């Protein structure tokens, strides 16, 4: 029975995460293009980025990398929510909620790291979407960099995702418990709490997201320290905020939608 319950939470998390991934994928593509280049290349606005992407590939270009995104998000969200359920994260102390969220996210992030890199590269360069493109990308990375190439940028990924998830679970659970409302308004309240928690958490960890993207897209084997130094020297402090607008929008609303859907499905089960 416990095993069946675990799979229920996995499938709910995967379904909720998959829908939000499809809806908000364009913001991830825009963010990747705003962050991707070292140096003093123009820091395009969201509107300019959309215009450039659409002119190159049409509207479909805004959904580059959707396949690896779906595989990564469905698998990662399923693992994440099933682990949070096992840890009973929303009924723990503040520190307990933070640690539970951080642990669940770090595990899911490590497992899904190869797909995260493929996703970023397909968003950036849009390889042809022939059958097996994802496996071809993985084989190419492994051939060039070894197995370690499949985990390129894992340190800044964890530096981004672990504190984000810890902060998010803590803020979300505390905000939600502080609002008393009727059941028919619960979904809307949960979504609003998710948005508030998402904005705060995303802005705090955004510099790590820039470092992660640069390391995954650049062919040089730069360390975290070398990447930080290069961004600062070539672009100044503003370089660490590249892509913050689409990132905040995407991360905030997709996370809020995922949590709201997951809790709605769980409440109706």
Per-residue pLDDT of the chain (269 residues; tens, 9 = 90+): 456 777 888 899 999 999 999 999 999 999 888 887 665 555 677 888 888 888 888 888 889 889 999 999 998 888 888 888 787 766 677 788 788 888 888 888 888 989 988 888 888 876 554 446 888 888 888 888 888 888 988 999 888 888 898 898 889 988 988 887 777 788 888 889 989 999 999 999 999 999 999 988 877 778 899 999 999 999 999 999 999 999 999 988 898 888 888 888 888 76
Q: Report CA torsion sign: 13, 14, 19, 24.
A: positive
DSSP 127-170: ----TTHHHHHHHHHHHHH-GGGGGTTHHHHHHHHHHHHHHHHH
Rounded (10°) CA dihedral 249, 254, 256, 258 = 180
- The confidence score (pLDDT) of residue 1 equals 42
> Distance between CA atoms of 72 and 211, rounded to whole angstroms?
20
pTM (2 d.p.): 0.78
Q: Which residue has the tokens 């899911």?
A: 108
- The confidence score (pLDDT) of residue 255 equals 87
Query: What domains, with CATH codes, occur in the chain?
Result: 2-268 (1.50.40.10)
> Distance between CA atoms of 82 and 186, rounded to whole angstroms?
22
- The confidence score (pLDDT) of residue 130 equals 46
């Amino acid at each position: 029975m416990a095993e069946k319950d675990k799979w229920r939470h996995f499938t709910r998390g995967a379904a909720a995460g998959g829908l939000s991934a499809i809806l908000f994928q364009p913001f991830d593509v825009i963010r990747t293009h705003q962050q991707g280049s070292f140096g003093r290349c123009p820091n395009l606005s969201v509107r300019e980025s959309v215009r450039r992407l659409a002119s190159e590939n049409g509207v479909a270009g805004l959904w580059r990398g959707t396949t690896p995104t779906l595989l990564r998000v469905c698998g990662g969200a399923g693992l994440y929510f099933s682990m949070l359920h096992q840890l009973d994260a929303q009924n723990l102390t503040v520190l307990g909620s933070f640690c539970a969220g951080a642990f669940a996210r770090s595990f899911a992030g490590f497992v899904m790291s190869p797909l995260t890199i493929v996703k970023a590269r397909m968003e950036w360069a849009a390889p042809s979407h022939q059958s097996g493109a994802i496996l071809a990308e993985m084989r190419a990375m492994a051939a060039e960099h070894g197995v370690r190439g499949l985990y390129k940028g894992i340190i800044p990924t964890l530096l981004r995702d672990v504190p984000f998830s810890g902060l998010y679970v803590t803020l979300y659970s505390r905000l939600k418990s502080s609002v008393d409302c009727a059941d028919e308004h619960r979904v809307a309240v949960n979504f609003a709490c998710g948005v508030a928690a998402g904005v705060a958490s995303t802005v705090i960890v955004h510099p790590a997201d820039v470092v992660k993207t640069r390391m995954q897209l650049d062919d040089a084997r730069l360390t975290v320290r070398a990447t930080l130094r290069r961004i600062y020297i070539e672009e100044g402090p503003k370089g660490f905020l590249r892509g913050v607008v689409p990132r905040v929008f995407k991360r905030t609303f997709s996370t809020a939608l995922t949590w709201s859907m997951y809790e709605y499905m769980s409440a109706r089960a």
